[in-house]
Amino acid sequence: MTEQIDKALAREYEAGFVSDVESETFLPGLDEDVIRRISGMKNEPEWMLEWRLSAFREWLEMEEPEWAHVDYPKIDFQAISYYSAPKSMKDKPQSLDEVDPELLRTYEKLGIPLIEQQMLAGIAVDAVFDSVSVVTTFRDKLEEAGVIFCPISEAIKKHPDLVKKYIGSVVPKKDNYYAALNCAVFTDGSFVYIPKGTRCPMELSTYFRINEQNTGQFERTLIIADEGSHVSYLEGCTAPQRDENQLHAAVVELVALDDAEIKYSTVQNWYPGDEDGKGGIFNFVTKRGICHTNAKISWTQVETGSSVTWKYPSCILKGDNSVGEFYSVALTRGRQQADTGTKMIHLGKNTRSTIISKGISAGKSNNSYRGLVRMNPGAKGARNFTQCDSLLIGDLCGAHTFPYIESRNPSAIIEHEATTSKVSDEQMFLCRQRGLDPEKAVSMIVNGFCKEVFKELPMEFAVEAGKLLEISLEGSVG
Amino acid sequence: MSEWLESAITRAQNLNDWLAPKRAHAIELLTQTKWPTRKTEAWRYTPLRPVERTKAGVVSGDANLSPESITGLEAIELVFVNGRFDATQSAKELPTGLLVSLGQDVDSAQQTVALNAFSTIKPERHLFGLVNDALAEDVILVSVAEGVEITQPIRISSLLSQGAESHTRVQVTLAKGARLTVIEDIQAQGDTLSTAFVEYDIAADAHLDHYRFALQTGTNVSIGGSHFNLHDKSKMHSSIVGFGSDLSRLDTDIIHAGEFADAKLNAIYLLDGKELFDLHATVEHAMPNGTTEENVRCIVADRARAVFNGRIHIHRDAQKTLASLNNRNLLMSDKAEINTKPELEIYADDVRCAHGATVAEIDKQALYYLQTRGVSRSKAQVMLNFGFINELIDLMPNAALAEWVRPIIRERFAQMEVK
């Protein structure tokens, strides 16, 4: 048994490698000049630069949040390089053939089916390699439907009115420390616009990938679903092995106008650090969506990576009858720390929200659910149901629940439930009696524990998530 | 730091008695403490403006106050009036095995023991606990000898006259196998400020039944704490009934310092007008095999605000712990507000913990049903509210107390009509 465990524990991070693409990278450091250079590199209009600079000035006044149940060394923001672009971008590849083959090989190693498999899967990929979007496929098909799916840097130039109207409208510039930083230095990300009454013909997907050493990754995603439209967006990521901690502070803003629906799914598998938690990614993300009348936003996340996660995908249920959903599986092992959850802010009448959170802690990790359900005075007849379950594997880990419940409307109904338990001896006995080895048994039990969340994921993602969980749990059983 | 705290510290610095070492320590911590704001987690929903603006001060001389009697209850009375121990109104004859003394009257050896025990149970993070450490003058020490069961309950009453400030402190020690019932009670007139803290040390196999009534309403600031330390196989059962005031804050801390200890906490609070009541219940499971069961129910009417923070912390060694927390809230008006946060912090794997919280209004269908049977709307409301609370009153181990508090609650419901 111990041998098995040792073997499994010694497992290397599968996506751990650094690919050799020549990159143009800024020297570490952050001041207004760096922001001007980022903006300049992107040929941004003046208003964008001003917006960045004002966010930067706000950020300088702000303090780093300390309330989360996580512990990490203080980040030196002057030691981070704020821009890194694959060099081959200078010539702007017109087709896949022109793309640096090294890049393509990187994706292949990661198992991202960029070319043929993409077509078979029917997914358009806006792949982000470090900070610049390299390849966008299926654009024609999307254009036909009137869907805009492009790097945000391109949208700033081509669709300034849309960007100007909605950027920072859901997550204000000074919303929090990391969001403000992102506003100042974001390099790229995705922009999606679904026109009125349109059902996006395919699932949109972005694979993030952190590559350059010491490069902070500041993605910015803006998705606008116009009235009566529908879109499903997938985000997944994995990163190569390295020694120094990397900061990732992304901002995702979703706007669901009347009767629109956005489904946002994430599988996150960034480098969690070595056995001592050294070298993993710091993932401080702000994700928020606003729902107008009858709109729906559904967040589904499977979090297995990063050394420190600080992430609360939220919904502002502004319009009457709008719906917010949050389905989450967060698995921590080794020395990982996750403080994640959601905020459901009920403003409109008859708004409904559902929160299902499954936390699995193993090794010496700490996993916290932190959530807020707020019923404002106008939230007549609103409804919330929250369920947070934690599973502990091993006696050196921690599972925590911090739900904030605030109600100011008597007709709103809130229900919150939380449980914590371990994989029971009875369950293990039953499985082993039927010939399953302990690892398979745990994996099966955990899969059952997470079923409610997995069923919300698009099919391809659900398979990937299940596999990811299985791999992540290897070596956790004892 | 607030002016109020500054003046409290200055006052404390002028006091000189056997409590000096404790006081000095508290003053030192207080001078380092930041005055809580909305960003201070422990005071997030409870603004301290009523403390900053309090008109209460030290009132000396005869106040002519005496505790209300409770029918059917023959208690051993311990009475504080405006923060000072009132020997004339307090019990003079005590059953064998029970010792009650005033801190300044015992010999120095006993004082040293008491000083060392202070604040080992009450956490030092408690701002007003420190204020109490700094300002309490008369301290009552209660102890029950090994194996003795005191059948008569002890009632600690703190009485405050108009505009008075009071800081009371009691230390209760139950020796091995002892059994005791303690009632903590406050009766205050308007514009008062009080901090009332009791620390309980419950030795192996001992059993404490505890009650805390905070039924004063109006322009009062009432801050206090009941803190329990449980040793091997000890048991405690606490019942709390609170009405709100300008600011009412109660902290209960239960520490499982021994194995196989059992704690039960049932709290009810009923708020009306512009009242605020804030209950922070913390349970620390430091040792294995402990059990905790908490039931907290709250009804909020008019413009009142209720705050609840229920934290269960299971330490690494506390394997085989069973802990549960159930928090149910009823909102009766559009302007009322409930903020609740049941927290779990768990570091041991072989445990079973659960919490649940609900916020809703009275079941409209039940209300309708009663009305179709000829019960008036307001009567029906009282009935339903009462049903919601009554279960917890039934769980009170002392029948006389349950019967005493029931009509008081019923009367409260009659006031708390839906607005």
- Residue A451 in tokens: 């079923």
pLDDT of residue A14: 53
Residue-wise pLDDT for B356-365, tens only, equals 999 999 888 9
Residues of chain B in contact with residue A405, where contact means CB-CB under 8 angstroms, are: 338-341, 357, 359
Record the pTM: 0.87
Interface of A with B (CB under 8 A): 67, 69, 375, 377, 390, 392-422
Q: What residue type is A205 in one-letter code?
A: S
Whether the complex's predicted ipTM surpasses the cut of 0.95: no
Residue in this structure with the two tokens 């049932």, named with its chain if needed: B266
Whether the per-residue pLDDT at A114 is higher than 70: the answer is: no
Decide: residue A353, CB within 10 A, 0-12 exposed, 13-18 middle, 19+ buried.
Answer: buried
Picking from A286, A196, A222, the residue whose alpha carbon sits closest to that of residue A48 is: A222
pLDDT at residue A137, as a whole number: 52
Task: Select from B316, B341, B354 the Cβ nearest to the Cβ of A405.
Answer: B341
Residue A193 · residue A163 · CB < 8 Å = no
| pLDDT of A212 higher than 80 | no
Closest partner CB to A377 (pick from B319, B334, B354): B334
Both tokens of residue B366? 């039940």
Residue of A nearest to B302 (CA): A410
What pLDDT was estimated at residue A475? 66
State the pLDDT at residue A3. Answer: 58
Q: Backbone dihedral region of B225: left (phi > 0), alpha (psi from -120 to 50 degrees) or beta?
A: beta
Return the higher-pLDDT residue of A46 and A424.
Answer: A46
Instruction: Note whether B381 contacts A: Cβ–Cβ < 8 A.
Output: no
> Which residues on A lie below 8 Å from B344 (Cβ)?
390, 399-401, 418, 420
DSSP string, A258-287: TT-EEEEEEEEE----STTSTTPEEEEEEE
B interface test, pick of A364, A376, A420, A476 with most B CB neighbours within 10 Å: A420
Of the pLDDT bands very low, low, confident and very high (cuts 50, 70, 90), residue A264 is very high
Q: Is the pLDDT of residue A417 over 90?
A: yes
Number of domains in chain A: 1
- Asked if A315 and A288 touch (Cβ cutoff 8 Å), the reply is yes
With cut-offs at 50, 70 and 90, classify the pLDDT of residue A204. Answer: confident
More confident call, A321 vs A78: A321
In this prediction, residue A134 carries a pLDDT of: 41
Chain B residue numbers touching A375 (CB-CB < 8 A): 359
Tracing tokens 């020395």 back to the chain, one arrives at A335
Nearest CA to B137 out of B104, B165, B114 is that of: B104
- Cβ atoms of B382 and B409 within 8 Å: the answer is no
Measure CA A176 to chain center.
Answer: 17
pLDDT of residue A91: 42
pLDDT computed for residue A69 by the predictor:
85
Rounded mean pLDDT, B71-81 = 93
| Residue contact B346–A393, C-beta within 8 A | no
For A419, the 3-state DSSP assignment is strand
CA distance linking residue B17 with residue B2, whole number of Å: 26
Tell me whether residues B349 and A415 touch, CB distance under 8 A: no
- Taking the C-alpha atoms of residue B74 and residue B88, their distance in angstroms, rounded to an integer, is 17
B292 to chain A, minimum CA–CA distance in Å? 14
- State the residue range of the domain holding B351: 3-415
Average pLDDT, chain B: 93
Distance CA B190, CA B56 (A): 9
Q: How far apart are CA B38 and CA B339, in angstroms?
A: 14
Domain encompassing residue A402: 2-473
Instruction: Please answer yes or no on whether A414 and B357 come within 8 Å at the CB atom.
Output: yes
CB burial readout A253-279, b (16+ within 10 A) else e: bbbbbbbbbbbbbbbbbbbbbbeebeb
Q: Which residue of B332, B334, B349 is in closest CB contact with A422?
A: B349
Q: Say yes or no: B322 contacts chain A, CB-CB below 8 A.
A: no
- pLDDT at position A133: 47
B326 touching A, CB under 8 A?
A: no
Q: What's residue A476's pLDDT?
A: 65
Mean per-residue pLDDT for A458-475? 74
**Residue A275 scores a pLDDT above 80:** no
Mean pLDDT across the stretch B125-129?
92
Q: What is the pLDDT of residue A119?
A: 36
Q: How far is CA A388 from CA A248, A312, A329, A361, B23, in A?
A: 26, 14, 10, 13, 44
Residue A8 has pLDDT above 60, yes or no: no
Where on the phi/psi map is residue B49: left (φ > 0), alpha (ψ -120 to 50), or beta?
A: alpha
What pLDDT shows up at residue A86? 53
Q: How far, rounded to the nearest angstrom, does the alpha carbon of residue B136 sit from its chain's CA centroid?
A: 17
Residue B286, CA distances (Å) to B100, B172, B232, B318, B321 in order: 30, 21, 12, 5, 10
List pLDDT tens digits, range B46-63. Answer: 999 999 999 998 887 777
Domain tally for chain B?
1
Element (H, E) at B249: strand B247-256
Point out which residues pair with B84 in neighbouring strands. B81
Check residue A452 and give its pLDDT: 87
DSSP letter at B218 equals S
- As a whole number of angstroms, the longest Cα–Cα distance in chain A is 69
DSSP string, A373-410: EEE-TT-TT-EEEEEEEEEEESSS-EEEEEEEEEE--T
Instruction: Give A434 to chain B, closest Cα distance, Å.
Output: 24
Instruction: Work out the percent of chain B whose per-residue pLDDT is above 90.
Output: 81
Angstrom distance (rounded) from CA A164 to CA A10: 49
Dmax (CA) for chain B in angstroms is 70
Residue B131 has pLDDT above 90, yes or no: yes
- Weakest mean pLDDT among A133-142, A214-223, A244-253, B96-105: A133-142
Q: How far is CA B6 from CA A178, B3, B35, B134, in A?
A: 37, 5, 10, 12
- From B345's Cα to the closest Cα of chain A, the distance in A is 4
In the block, residue with structure tokens 């029917």: A122
The pLDDT mean for chain A works out to: 81
pLDDT at B414: 83
Q: What is residue A458's predicted lDDT score, i.e. its pLDDT?
A: 80
More confident residue, B21 or A95: B21
CA proximity to A236, closest of A275, A262, A210, A213: A210
- The residue in chain A having the minimum alpha-carbon distance to the alpha carbon of residue B355 is A418
B387 inside 8 A of chain A by CB: no
* Residues in contact with A272: Cβ distance below 8 Å, sequence separation at least 6, in sequence order: A13, A280, A281, A304, A305, A306, A307, A333, A334, A336
> Does any domain span residue A478?
no
Band (B416; pLDDT cuts 50, 70, 90): confident
What are the respective helix, strand and coil percentages of chain A, to the nearest 5? Answer: 25, 35, 35
- Average pLDDT on B229-240 reads 97
Q: Considering CB atoms only, which of B341, B353, B361 is closest to A410? A: B361
Highest mean pLDDT among A129-138, A424-433, B274-283: B274-283
> Count of A–B CB contacts within 8 Å?
113
Q: How far, in Å, CA of A254 to CA of A313, rounded?
A: 10
Q: Helix, strand, or coil here: B203?
A: coil
Chain A residues near residue B345 by CB distance under 8 angstroms: 69, 398, 400-401
Percent above pLDDT 90 for chain A: 44
Interchain proximity A398–B340, CB inside 8 Å: no
Pick the residue of B43, B345, B384 with the most A CBs within 10 A to test the interface with A by mutation. Answer: B345
Contact A422 B355 (CB under 8 A): no
Say if residues B409 and B388 touch (Cβ distance below 8 Å).
no
Confirm or reject contact between B341 and chain A (CB < 8 A). yes
Instruction: Give the per-residue SS3 of B331-381.
Output: ECCCCCEEEEEEEEEECCCCCEEEEEEEEECCCHHHHHHHHHCCCCHHHHH
Bigger pLDDT: B124 vs A403: A403
Give the residue-averaged pLDDT of A237-261.
Answer: 77
Tokens of B380: 């029906």
> CB within 8 A of A459, min separation 6: which ones?
none
Mutate to test the interface with B, among A344, A369, A408 (most CBs of B within 10 A): A408
- pLDDT value, residue A12: 53
- Structure-token match 């299985």, residue found: A470
Q: How far apart are the first and last CA of chain B?
A: 39
Residue type, B139: V
pLDDT classification of B196: cutoffs 50, 70, 90: very high
Nearest chain B Cα to A382, which residue?
B360
- The answer on pLDDT for A322 being more than 80 is yes
Write out pLDDT tens, residues A142-162. 888 999 988 888 899 999 999
pLDDT in tens, A178-200: 999 999 998 888 899 999 999 99
Q: Which residues of B touch A400 (CB under 8 A)?
A: 343-346
Read off the pLDDT of each residue in B192-205 and give the average, rounded to a whole number: 96
What's the DSSP call for residue A89? G
Beta strands B76-81; B84-85: pairing state: antiparallel
* Shortest Cα distance, chain B CAs vs residue A414, angstroms: 5
Instruction: Report how far apart, in Å, the C-alpha atoms of A167 and of each of A160, A163, B395 are.
Output: 10, 5, 56
B353, A409: Cβ pair inside 8 Å? no
CA B207 → CA B3, B77, B142, B231, distances in Å?
42, 20, 15, 10
**Is the predicted pLDDT of residue A64 greater than 80, yes or no?**
yes
What pLDDT, in 10s, does the model give residues B89-103? 999 999 999 999 999
